[in-house]
Amino acid sequence: MIRLNRLCAGYFGKTVLREATMEFLPGKVTVLLGPNGSGKSTLLKAALGLVPPMAGEVLYDGVDIRRLKRRQIAQKAAFLTQSRNTPSIQALRMVLHGRFPYLTYPRRYGGQDYAIARSAMDVTGSRQHEDTNVAQLSGGQRQGVYLAMALAQDTPTLFMDEPTTYLDISRQFEMMQTARSLAREGKAVVLVLHDICLALREADRIAVFQEGRLLCLDEPDAVYQSGVLEQVFGVGVYRVNTPHGTQYYCAPQQIPGQRPEKCSDT
């Protein structure tokens, strides 16, 4: 399990994330919410060792990340990045790269690697594109291939940075279902999302960030009740009971006098 302990991180000497303490529980979908620049993506990158901690620590099963090798980290945590390159290679080839952390000299993928890569493509529904060039796939199909690559890494923790942003609505739902079923299998699934309602409906735990600070970390219902989302995003968040279960929606805040304090102090 990965634990962050009073973690500060940032780029080029500028602190973006301040003193975040949290852990990513196995079997749970944890969603990070917050406005742009609130430190969510930085937290992911720091948790993966892509940016070094400025203070505090990242612990992998109790071991400080600075004492782990890249390969060791890659065997514990996979990462679906937000912006990606699209090399002109066969999809299966790309998913096979998920086995890279396990390769030993002479670095050839073996039968077991192929089997794991193919079953990962089954999970993300991209098996039928196995022989297709990644560059010829649609955005959603490519996402499936990239996710399959992260799954082929076979890690206890999976981080995804805005996995739904460029997807159409049905693919967004599919993505969340995949995240849920991965969590059911025991993975710790951590997502950065921009869709508050999707997060409230699908997450097991929600972490809310503002200006680099972790404001709260709780179950969706408790987060909804606390009103922290209204305060951070400056919108009204409401819920209704429908035949399809409890649904959430956002709307511009109604009452003029009730603007959150945080927004006015710039």
Is residue 104 a contact point for another protein (CB under 8 A)? no
Task: Choose which of 101, 163, 212, 220 interacts with another protein (CB under 8 A).
Answer: 101
Is residue 39 a contact point for another protein (CB under 8 A)? no
Q: Which residue has the tokens 């923790």?
A: 157
Binders of another protein in range 207-266 (CB under 8 A): none
Task: Choose which of 50, 59, 197, 250 interacts with another protein (CB under 8 A).
Answer: 50
Q: How far is the CB of 45 from another protein (least distance, A)?
A: 7
Q: How far is the CB of 29 from another protein (least distance, A)?
A: 19
Q: Which is nearer to another protein, 182 or 198 (CB)?
A: 182
Is residue 153 a contact point for another protein (CB under 8 A)? yes
**Spatial separation of the C-alpha atoms in residues 182 and 6, rounded to whole Å:** 28
Is residue 191 a contact point for another protein (CB under 8 A)? no
Cβ neighbourhood burial of 15 (10 Å; 0-12, 13-18, 19+): middle
Q: Which residue has the tokens 């670095």?
A: 107
Of the candidates 237, 234, 233, the one whose C-alpha atom is nearest the C-alpha of residue 246 is 237
Task: Choose which of 3, 28, 97, 127 interacts with another protein (CB under 8 A).
Answer: 97
The token duo for 68 is: 């782990």
Of the candidates 157, 153, 184, the one whose C-alpha atom is nearest the C-alpha of residue 24 is 157
Q: Which stretch binds another protein (CB under 8 A): 43-51, 164-172, 173-181, 214-222?
A: 43-51
Read off the DSSP letter of residue 49. T
Q: 258-265: which pairs have CB atoms within 8 A and are 24 or more residues apart?
A: 259/234, 260/230, 260/231, 260/232, 260/234, 261/231, 262/210, 262/231, 262/232, 263/234
Q: Which is nearer to another protein, 131 or 265 (CB)?
A: 131
**Spatial separation of the C-alpha atoms in residues 157 and 159, rounded to whole Å:** 7
Binders of another protein in range 73-92 (CB under 8 A): 73-75, 77-79, 81, 83-90
Q: Which residues bind another protein (CB under 8 A)?
A: 11-12, 45, 48-50, 69-75, 77-79, 81, 83-90, 93-94, 97-98, 100-101, 103, 107, 133, 135-136, 153
